[in-house]
């Protein structure tokens, strides 16, 4: 047979066998692999924009001329507004200034890499075009358009991951949803609500807006394990790469959602996690809430979270016209400018190989690199203790200039200029001789020391009056006006175990002394199983450290440790800098 024919025959044979021009299709990728890939992307993204937007932006914290305490999106609940009255807000909702390009531009300017918006919050109103309920932005408002279509498209164009928040159990608009006892005192049938609203609406979200990075469920409440399993299956059947946060309930999430504004006290790498956080004290727009966080604080918190292995989901609450408040925009753009120069030390990094010590510096890592974040300028010298790996070179990330250093044993001593390179956080890049930093025993992330400092800066602040004073590194205004009182909470997420004595570092003007304080141990949001109490002594306004009588025992299941002044309201001048836990056993 001539050669040409031989080639023809073999090509024909190959085509018949399906092995020539068309390569065999890749094996189908299973759900677990897709979820793992999505989690890796999520982990690398580190910083996201949360958006709480709904009808509650109209009353903006005031009902019938009265100020309503609490977070803005809870106004219906706190003021016990009847459904029939609250529903009328829809007829006024006309956010003509909503502009998806502007919102996503802001997210990008801030350095945020994913965005999560309320599709339906606890008030039950769908902020997208739902066929399952006429109580939605297209059918019930003069606006008559679906903002989520534009937002999803703008995110896709800019490469920002897009996700929906959905309140899957709490729904004050529905007789069988949870929470509204003022309109619906009768016993509810959660299955009617779940089948009739939740499943169809979640399916709409999964099928109408392109690929979703995640669905962010909230307050799982009374949903049964079977219902949650069904919900998870629904999501993964339509979009196997779509991540689920742990607030779906019953341990069925893909990653851990920490409590609101709650940063774990130490490096936490057993699971992937995310901190949802407010820019002021509310999620939904509230016109009187001007307690904006300082950009310096946000940059430090983003760094702290990245160093501990988590993600930061930072909230904005647009107003009823669709405008993100000016202060939020300004603050976020400041954070973005820092990230534009220093993002390499945040995005795609892994957690610190060192345990977290104090509040003035943190470390993030990449292969053959450590990033030393100097959150407070140490002066002209800084010692990094406990590093066994050889440091080849060190330079400032923002300007590339070399940083002189000497390494002896496991200590690296840096020589620094008198002033920071960046006023918020100066990053020093260490190039290592090993791909993974070797850290000496006693300094490793898992080697939690016997003295652990819980600084006010790292606490979650609960209450409307309490404030963190950055200049004095302390929390103040522990006024008790209403329940819940003003308090600080620290979340160990399993980092602490054993019996601890407690020291308090605080300052109090002499004439303000005498208030009783309480340190509590809480296995859940509604329980306190141990407490230590004592009296605030006069310190002449200086910070002093005092040992608290007694001890607390902490176990892996304890959710948080609190500090409050539960009985008095004359203690507004007490400044708490930190608690120190000293391990006894
Ligand atoms: O009740 C909600 C609240 O309104 C807000 O949506 C936050 C965000 O994490 N989640 C719930 C409380 O944890």
Q: Would the CB of 260 count as within 6 Å of ligand 1?
A: yes
Q: Would the CB of 464 count as within 6 Å of ligand 1?
A: no
Q: CA–CA distance from 347 to each of 317, 424, 445 (Å)?
A: 25, 17, 20
Q: Would the CB of 274 count as within 6 Å of ligand 1?
A: no
Q: Cα(218) to centroid of ligand 1, in Å?
A: 7
Note the pLDDT of residue 26: 77
Domains of the chain: 44-345 (3.20.20.80), 361-432 (2.60.40.1180), 451-583 (2.60.120.260)
Note the pLDDT of residue 511: 80
Could you identify the residue written with the tokens 């300094």? 443
The minimum-distance atom of ligand 1 relative to the CA of 50 is: 8
Q: Would the CB of 169 count as within 6 Å of ligand 1?
A: no
Note the pLDDT of residue 483: 58
Q: Cα(167) to centroid of ligand 1, in Å?
A: 9
Q: Return the DSSP state at 194.
A: I
Q: How far apart are the first and last CA of the chain?
A: 88
Note the pLDDT of residue 509: 87
What 3-state DSSP class applies to 385? strand
Rounded-to-integer distance, Cα 533 and Cα 536, Å: 10
**Residue bearing the CA closest to ligand 1, atom 10:** 218
Q: Would the CB of 219 count as within 6 Å of ligand 1?
A: yes
Note the pLDDT of residue 232: 98
Q: Would the CB of 73 count as within 6 Å of ligand 1?
A: yes
Note the pLDDT of residue 21: 60
DSSP 229-298: HHHHHHHHHH-TT-EEBGGGSTT--SBEEPSTT--BSS---SS-EEEEE-SSS-SS--TT---PPPHHHH
Rounded-to-integer distance, Cα 270 and Cα 309, Å: 9
What 3-state DSSP class applies to 317? coil
53's tokens:
């937007």
Count of other CB atoms within 10 angstroms of residue 333:
14
**Residue bearing the CA closest to ligand 1, atom 4:** 73
Burial 19-31 (b: 16+ CB within 10 A, else e): eeeeeeeeeeeee
Rounded-to-integer distance, Cα 276 and Cα 345, Å: 21
DSSP 500-534: EEEEEEEE--GGGTT-EEEEEEESBTTB--EEEEE
569's tokens:
């309201």
Q: CA–CA distance from 416 to each of 382, 391, 410 (Å)?
A: 7, 16, 19
Angle formed at CA 476 by CA 472 and CA 479, multiple of 5 degrees: 170
The minimum-distance atom of ligand 1 relative to the CA of 52 is: 6
| Averaged pLDDT in 10-residue chunks for the chain of 585 residues | 38 39 79 97 98 99 96 98 98 98 98 99 98 98 98 98 98 97 94 97 98 97 95 98 98 98 98 98 97 97 98 98 98 98 98 97 98 98 98 98 98 98 98 98 96 97 92 89 79 96 95 88 96 94 97 96 80 86 92
Query: Which phi and psi (to 5°) does residue 209 adopt?
Result: -135, 25
Q: Would the CB of 284 count as within 6 Å of ligand 1?
A: no
**Residue bearing the CA closest to ligand 1, atom 5:** 283
Q: Cα(197) to centroid of ligand 1, in Å?
A: 20
Q: Would the CB of 429 count as within 6 Å of ligand 1?
A: no
Of 432, 412, 268, 437, the closest CA to residue 353 belongs to: 437
Rounded-to-integer distance, Cα 247 and Cα 220, Å: 6
Query: Which phi and psi (to 5°) does residue 384 adopt?
Result: -100, 115
């Amino acid at each position: 047979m001539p050669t040409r024919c031989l080639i023809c025959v073999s090509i024909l044979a190959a085509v018949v066998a399906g092995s020539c021009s068309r390569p065999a299709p890749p094996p189908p990728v299973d759900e677990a692999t897709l979820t793992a890939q999505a989690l890796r992307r999520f982990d690398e993204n580190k910083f996201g924009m949360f958006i709480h937007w709904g009808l509650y932006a109209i009353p903006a914290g005031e009902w019938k001329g009265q100020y309503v305490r609490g977070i803005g999106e809870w106004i219906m609940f706190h003021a016990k507004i009847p459904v029939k009255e609250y529903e009328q807000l829809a007829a006024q909702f006309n956010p003509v200034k909503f502009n998806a390009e502007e919102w996503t531009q802001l997210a990008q300017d801030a350095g945020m890499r994913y965005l999560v918006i309320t599709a339906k919050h606890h008030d039950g109103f769908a902020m997208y075009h739902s066929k399952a309920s006429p109580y939605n932005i297209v059918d019930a408002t003069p606006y008559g358009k679906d903002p989520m279509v534009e937002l999803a498209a703008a995110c896709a164009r800019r490469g920002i991951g897009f996700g929906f928040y959905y309140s899957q159990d709490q729904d004050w608009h529905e007789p069988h949803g949870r929470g509204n006892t003022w309109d619906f005192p009768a016993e509810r049938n959660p299955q009617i609500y779940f089948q009739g609203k939740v499943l169809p609406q979640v399916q709409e979200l999964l099928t109408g807006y392109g690929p979703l990075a995640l669905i962010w469920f909230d307050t799982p409440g009374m949903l049964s394990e079977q219902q949650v399993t069904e919900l998870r299956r629904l999501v993964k059947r339509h979009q196997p790469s779509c991540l689920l946060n742990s607030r779906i309930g019953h341990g069925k999430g893909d990653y851990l959602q920490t409590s609101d504004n709650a940063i774990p006290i130490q490096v936490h790498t057993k699971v992937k996690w995310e901190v949802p956080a407010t820019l002021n004290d509310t999620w939904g727009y509230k016109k009187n809430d001007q307690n904006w966080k300082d950009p310096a604080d946000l940059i430090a918190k983003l760094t702290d979270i990245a160093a501990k292995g988590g993600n930061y989901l930072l909230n904005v609450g647009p107003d009823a016209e669709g405008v993100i408040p000016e202060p939020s925009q300004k603050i976020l753009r400041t954070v973005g400018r820092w990230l534009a120069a220093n993002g390499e030390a945040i995005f795609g990094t892994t957690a610190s190989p060192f345990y977290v010590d104090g509040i003035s510096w943190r470390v993030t890592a990449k292969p053959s690199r450590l990033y030393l974040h100097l959150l407070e300028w140490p002066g002209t010298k800084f010692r990094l203790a406990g590093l066994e790996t050889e440091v080849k070179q060190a330079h400032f990330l923002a300007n590339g200039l070399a940083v002189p250093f000497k390494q002896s044993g496991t200590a690296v001593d840096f020589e620094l200029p008198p002033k920071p390179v960046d006023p918020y956080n100066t990053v020093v890049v260490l190039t290592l001789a090993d791909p993974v930093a070797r850290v000496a025993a006693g300094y490793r992330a898992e080697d939690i020391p016997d003295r652990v400092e819980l600084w006010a800066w790292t606490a979650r602040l609960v209450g409307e009056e309490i404030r963190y004073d950055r200049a004095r590194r302390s929390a103040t205004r522990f006024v008790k006006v209403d329940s819940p009182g003003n308090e600080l909470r620290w979340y160990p997420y399993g980092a602490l175990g054993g019996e601890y004595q407690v020291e308090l570092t605080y300052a109090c003007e002499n004439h303000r002394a005498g208030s009783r304080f309480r340190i509590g141990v809480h296995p859940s949001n509604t329980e306190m199983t141990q407490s230590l109490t004592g009296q605030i002594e006069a310190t002449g306004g200086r910070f002093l450290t005092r040992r608290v009588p007694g001890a607390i025992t902490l176990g892996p299941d304890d959710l948080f440790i609190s500090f409050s002044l539960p009985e008095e309201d004359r203690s507004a001048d007490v400044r708490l800098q930190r608690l120190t836990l000293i391990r006894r056993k």
